Amino acid sequence: MKAWLAFIVAGLAFAASGSQDLSACGDKFLLVGRGVRFDQAYAAVHPASILIVLPAKTVKSAAVRDARLLTALKNAGHKVEIVQQPADLANALNRSRHDIVLIEQADAPVLRDITVAGQAKPSIVGVLEDPSASALTSARQQVEYVLPTPTSLARILNLMDDVMKARLDSARRSGAGS
């Protein structure tokens, strides 16, 4: 009797070792370690044309220099262009249409002097590194949107979507009002 039981257990173990996992659609993503990270699977609700303005090379720790930011924006479906401050900024704004300009908060006043010919002005997102509460309040009075850093890439992508949603809502209201 023990021999038969050992034979049956060995047969079941052998059969189980040769079987394949038959997961349903999407179940394989629920297994531990096999999920897709947010920044890899995120697609922008409203893809934007984003201009990233790099500050002078004397500023070493600029948040807009982060290579992960550029990669995350492109993976989300945004069109990204990078220019050096301030020489190429006016040319870039007049050369092509941009929805959002991502610029260090200290450099944001330069944008007020630049006129964009024949197109809607881009939304300005001022980037602040480790801001105090008073600096954050002051920045919000100077530019439309403020991005305090360090922050997660998911929050940055959500901010870009919020900016584009506000731009589209504003365009719809102005189009309906005319």
What are the tens digits of pLDDT across the range 40-82?
Answer: 566 788 888 998 888 776 555 566 777 788 888 888 889 999 8
DSSP string, 28-94: GGGSTT-PPPHHHH---SS--EEEEEE--TT--S-GGG-HHHHHHHHHTT-EEEEEETTTTHHHHHH
Query: What percentage of residues in the chain have a pLDDT greater than 70?
Result: 76
Q: Say if residues 100 and 75 touch (Cβ distance below 8 Å).
A: no
The whole-angstrom separation of Cα 120 and Cα 25 is 45
Q: Which domains does the chain have, with CATH numbers?
A: 45-177 (3.40.50.280)
pLDDT tens column, 13-26: 877 776 666 666 66
DSSP reduced 3-state for 162: helix
Q: Give the up-direction half-sphere exposure of residue 31: CA atoms within 13 A in the CB hemisphere.
A: 9
Q: Residue 90: pLDDT band by 50, 70, 90 thresholds?
A: confident
pLDDT tens column, 120-160: 788 888 888 888 888 888 888 888 898 888 888 888 889 99
pLDDT tens column, 102-126: 888 887 877 777 766 667 788 888 8
